[in-house]
Structure 1
């Protein structure tokens, strides 16, 4: 009985960690989308390079003359 309860808690913990990662990646993607929209509104051309990881994209807004 103890092993089953431990497995259930482990499963719930892993599920919670997975949910947290998905939420954080979604928030990051929403921030990139907002930055792209702001760049377009300023008359620029957004460029996003994700590389190997989705977590930290490289963002540039080109074509803006200040």
Structure 2
């Protein structure tokens, strides 16, 4: 089993009717970074995870979770 970071970021963005670009601007990152995190291609730093959670009005635990996947 391998660990994988899952995120509800896309759902949380939709709940607030935010585009990736709007979320990125509010969190102080690029849209490409938001896209990469949502797609599972990038693991955010702790600081970025906290910023994203704050902008989206949720806890880090609501935004990110560790999933175990078969190898």
Range of TM-score over shorter length: under 0.3
Q: Given the two structures, how large is their TM-score scaled by the length of structure 2?
A: 0.21
The higher-RCO structure (CA 8 Å, 6+ apart) is 2
Bigger CA radius of gyration: 1
Q: What's the TM-score, normalizing by structure 1?
A: 0.22
Query: Going by fraction, where is helix more abundant, 1 or 2?
Result: 1
